[in-house]
Each structure stands twice: as C-alpha cells, then as structure tokens.
Structure 1
Amino acid sequence: MCTALVQNQIFGRTMDLPALSSPWKLTYLPPHYQFTRYLDRTKYASQYGILGGMRVTDGEYLIGDGINTAGLVMAELYYKCRKFYAPTPITGKINLAPQDLIEWCLSHYGSVAELAAALPQLTLVASPWFDTHAYVHEFHWLVADQTGTYLIEPTSQELTLRQLAIPVITNAPSYDHHQQRLINTVDLDVDLTDLKLSSLKNIQLPASIQTSRTPSARWMRTAVAMAQSRPITEILKQVQMEHLPGHDDYTHYWSTIDLGTQTYTYHDVDQHRTKIVPLPKLHYPNPHVFHFKPLN
C-alpha cells in the first residue's frame, strides 16, 4: 500500500508496507557488497554503491527503494494483481525471486537503457524470500533515471519497461486501470492513450477520492497534484497513511531522491525526523545504517 512518483527529476515515495522482522532504515551498501540470490543462494558483487530505504532479514538487506552511484533509481511496490511468475526456474535465464529484482538491477545496471537491454535475460520465479519461507510476495517496480520514469509490471514471462506519461504508481489494479478510473471518475473527455499530466491541471476530484486510502484514490490524488505543480513533499504527505487500529498498512517513512545530485531525503514518520544524505559523499567500506541522534 505505497505511492511512488517522479516530479521534475525528483523521485518520491511513501513506504506503507509493515516491517516484518526489522524496521526500515536509510542504509548505504558499498560497491562490491555481496548480495545473495534466494533461489540458488549464489553470491554476486554489486558494481555500484547503493543508498536507500532498507531493512535486514535473516542477515540479508531488502531494498524498498534506492539509487545507485550511476544514477539509476528503483522502487518496489506491492502489486496484488494480474501478474506472471514462472512456477519453476527456467534454464538459460537469470532466475530471481520477486524481492531479488531490485537488488539485482541496482547492483548491475547504471541506466534505464542498460536495464532494458538486460530484461529479456531475467525471469521472476514464484518463490518466497529470506523474510518468509511460505509466502510469495507480489510486486511491480518503478524505474527512473534522467531520461524518464518507467514501470515494470510482471504480467508475462517476458519482462518489459514502459515509459509513463503520468509518472505515478501505487498498487493494484494495473496502471491502465488507474488511468481509466480517473477518466471515468471526473468524466474526462480524453482517450486513455492521450491522457497526460496536462489533461489534469484543472480537474476537481470528488470528496470521497480526497479521503480514501484505496490505491486508485491515491493514484488520482497524486496525479492531479502533480499536474497542479504542488511540491513533492506536500504530495507525499497527502497520501501518507495514518496508523489506524486494526490496519497493518501505514506509512513508516517517506523519501525523496534528487536524480541530479543523488541526494536522498529520508523522513521517519513515527519519529517525525528527517535525514538528508548525498550519495556521492559516501565512502564507507562496509554497509552503513544511518541513525538519528538521540533527542536531548
């Protein structure tokens, strides 16, 4: 139950998924850090340093979102929707559990173009990960660099990148369904293929959409706010999910990444505290977790 967007070369997201075994923390992984693929437990070294929102489970770093030192940004969001995972590993492919994908891409590829060229080699397999030995998590991914914002929706065995005219993703249903629901909700006279941010500048959303926590409502609010050029932190705050009784999904942190300066801003919602870290200035030889100093 998250929201992610890119506005004026700034990536932003809310992290609304519960932290299962450990809390989300702003974390840096240096070049040559050894990741472990879940399916065969093989090790591979990252070509790049990575800074992002992460948590540790069974000794492995799970990346929710991040930027690498080449400038590639990627975020995973829950996607309980029409999707395709191979039932078993496929010979001749790089077989990845769903949580492996973001780590593999940020550690191997320096641009969207490199990632797009490599995608035909990759296959997502219906497999759990280190944080659970029973449940197969379902995700889709936002990918960005200075060329634009793209989406990976795993709806077939062949993974593809789609450039987004409205650079927003939330959760299920599919991206096209979000767009169509917006068109239907405000009775917009435009075809799905022609929908752009400029189409949304003057529309008014119903009050029910303004307060709903559903993925489609959050998608609509975010898209309209972007069209109206609202500041990205304001947009993130308007889709921030409160911790309601009986709900496991709420916003643990929101973050922004400046694609130009590679600066990560991490806001811990529970602590009401913010940390700003420029990736180019980091040279830790080992993984480093950024903690807030104790309050006096």
Structure 2
Amino acid sequence: MNGDVTMCTSLTYENLAHQHLLARTMDFPTTTPWRPIFLPRRFEWHTGLATTMVARYAYLGGGRLPVNWPEPLMADGVNETGLTCAELYLPHAARYADQPAPKKINLTPQDFINWVLAQHRNLAEVVADLPHVQLVAQSWADDDFVYPFHWLLSDNTGQTLVIEPTGEPLKAQVNPSGILTNTPVLTTHLQNLAKLLDQPSSKFTTNTITAAQNWHAQKRPLPTGDVPTARFNRMALLRWGSPTVSAVTTNAIIMNWLAQVSLPYDAHRRHQLSHNYTHYRAVINATTQEYLFWSRTAEQPRHLRLTPAMAETWTVPFIFPIN
C-alpha cells in the first residue's frame, strides 16, 4: 500500500460548557469496514513484535478487524479516564528504529494507540512514559506495509499534544492550534498557516486567533483542495474563526466542519488501492466519554458512551454495528 494515500483531518475543541473534544475524519483506501469498537480493562493484546500487553483502562473508538489477526486495529478513541488519541498519516517524514531495543517498550506504529489509551490516565502519564518507548519499523497483522503515523492527543486539561516520530527520541509537542492533518510536520503546518494569515511569527497565539476571526468577518473564501496544507488551514480557520458554541450544538457544528474536508466515495474506483475516501467522521467527548461515529453509509451518526458500568463489567471486546 502506498504511504501517501490517506488524507485524515483532526481537531480538538472546547465548547462553552468547558467540555473537551477530539474529532477526526478517517480517510483511507478500500479496506475492511471501520466501526465503533470497545476494548475492556485487562484486555490482553498482541503487539506486532510477538509480545503481549495487558490493558489497565477500557476504551471506545473507531477500528477495523484485520484478516488473520486476533485483535482490532484501532485508529482513535477515548478511555474511561477521558484520555483521547487519534492516529494520522505522516508519509515521508516518519522514521522508526530498525530493530527493538533492550530495556525499552518496543512497539510497532499500529500498537502505539493501544499503548496510549489502554495504559495511561492522562497526558502527563503518556509524556512521562514516552522516553521508554521505541517504535520499530515492522509490519503488523494482515499487511506487509509499515505505516507512517503521527498522533494527536488530548484530555480533560484541555491541552493538545502531537507526537511525531521523525528519527529522534519520541517527544510530545504542545499543539495550541489543535489541528492536525498529514505530512508536513506540525511545525511546517503552523508556518504555512502564519503565512496565510500574514502573521510575523509562526507561533500560534492570540494574534493568530484574531487573524482567523478577521478572515471570517471579512467573508474571505476558505482554502480548498485535498492536500494536507489546505485542509489544515481550512480547519484552523473554521475552528478559530467561528464563535465558540454550546454543548447542545457542538456535535452538529464539528460534524459540519469535518464534512467540509471529507473525501467522496467513487463506486467505480472501489477496488483500487489508490481510492482514498472518508470512511467515517467521529466526534469524541473526553469529558463525557461519548463517541459519535458517522459512517459513510449511514443516514445518521451512532451515539455511544463509555459508561462506568461498561468499564467495570464488560470483560471482552465488543464490535458495534456500523450503522
């Protein structure tokens, strides 16, 4: 599979009720269906390096069931403590170790989101554990491809972090924009946004937000196109140029923003590995542990919640229907 094909867009958001959310499109070529999946506490999952790990926390997110592999491949989710994470593509920029390292937590790229959500309460715990992790360039499950990922994380502190494996020891960057798409790396995205808004500094500040608000007030057209830079800039302008909304209207507003950067499905290209389209849109509420999943084939979204009872009593994974 070509590493350039996925075109996901994601954002974090705080509404007027001070709820913290992470949202994303899942854009991917034709593959097994994506659907909501629950993974329980004490779930034993197999890494791509023939080791096992046991989950400390239950989580709910979007995933798919690979062929000939015992566990789901997860793309995003929220755990029972309100930690959220989404993985996105980083082609040409992601760099992994060639071999596992002694005395390290060695993971394939696909394992990383499980490690984040199943093993940690909050961002602080993830950051503290990052120096112990090594990502290894090895395939996982039913695919020979080593996926080039980076990750957007948030929790109920409202902070947003990005983890980009670019060859140095793993570290978490604060992402004040709350936006992430695909390559280039976050620093370059912020530079491009500053240039668009005619800002003297690439740092995302209150001046950046004011410039985005002025863009909307002047009714200037939003950036268009499928390339990551255009989608990053469009989502940044939508997210920061619009008034903050109530809890009641948050899901509808964010789903509308995601629809504006979604990729259409072409039935004539459905068997082509190069056909990249939006399989689902998701809005994840870290504060309430709610998961809104809108499949391409559904007329309306599925509204799920990771309840305390689920976390306490559900002992096996549960695969929810797509629609």
Q: Which residue of 2 aligns with 1:15?
A: 26
- What residue ranges of structure 2 are gaps of 5+ in the alignment? 1-6, 15-19, 244-252
CA contact 1:197–1:223 (8 Å) conserved in 2:
no
Question: With structure 2 as the length reference, what TM-score do the two structures score?
Answer: 0.84
Q: Which residue of 2 aligns with 1:76?
A: 87
Q: Which residue of 1 aligns with 2:167?
A: 156
Question: With structure 1 as the length reference, what TM-score do the two structures score?
Answer: 0.91
Q: Which residue of 2 aligns with 1:169?
A: 180
Two-structure CA RMSD over aligned residues (Å): 1.9
Q: Which residue of 2 aligns with 1:287?
A: 317
Instruction: With a CA cutoff of 8 Å and minimum separation of 6, indicate the structure with the bigger relative contact order.
Output: 2
Give the aligned length.
288
CA contact 2:74–2:114 (8 Å) conserved in 1:
yes
In 1: Cα distance, 2:204 partner to 2:77 partner: 31
Residue 139 to residue 124, structure 1, CA distance change in 2 (3 Å): same
CA contact 2:92–2:183 (8 Å) conserved in 1:
yes
In 2: Cα distance, 1:28 partner to 1:237 partner: 25
CA contact 2:151–2:164 (8 Å) conserved in 1:
yes
Alignment of 1:6 with 2:12, yes or no, is yes
- What residue ranges of structure 1 are gaps of 5+ in the alignment? none
Q: Which residue of 2 aligns with 1:233?
A: 255
Whichever residue aligns with residue 215 of structure 1, its letter is: P
Alignment of 1:108 with 2:108, yes or no, is no
CA contact 1:78–1:171 (8 Å) conserved in 2:
yes
CA contact 1:124–1:157 (8 Å) conserved in 2:
no
Alignment of 1:52 with 2:65, yes or no, is no
Which deviates the most, 66-75 or 276-285?
Answer: 276-285
In 1: Cα distance, 2:27 partner to 2:277 partner: 5
Alignment of 1:224 with 2:263, yes or no, is no
The CA deviation at 1:225 is 0.3
Residue 78 to residue 194, structure 1, CA distance change in 2 (3 Å): closer
In 1: Cα distance, 2:214 partner to 2:142 partner: 44
Alignment of 1:274 with 2:285, yes or no, is no
In 2: Cα distance, 1:198 partner to 1:95 partner: 43
In 2: Cα distance, 1:269 partner to 1:26 partner: 13
Q: Which residue of 1 aligns with 2:247?
A: none
Alignment of 1:210 with 2:193, yes or no, is no
Q: Which residue of 2 aligns with 1:137?
A: 147
Secondary structure of the corresponding residue to residue 120 of structure 1? helix
In 2: Cα distance, 1:19 partner to 1:279 partner: 29
In 2: Cα distance, 1:292 partner to 1:24 partner: 7
CA contact 2:190–2:204 (8 Å) conserved in 1:
no
Residue 211 to residue 199, structure 1, CA distance change in 2 (3 Å): closer
In 2: Cα distance, 1:210 partner to 1:278 partner: 34
1:189 to 199, 208, 226: 199
In 1: Cα distance, 2:290 partner to 2:39 partner: 15
Residue 286 to residue 238, structure 1, CA distance change in 2 (3 Å): same
In 2: Cα distance, 1:170 partner to 1:226 partner: 14
CA contact 2:215–2:241 (8 Å) conserved in 1:
no
Q: What per-residue deviation string (whole Å, max 9, x for no partner) do you get for residues 68-109 of structure 1?
A: 111110110011032221111111211111101111111111
The CA deviation at 1:198 is 3.6
The CA deviation at 1:292 is 5.5
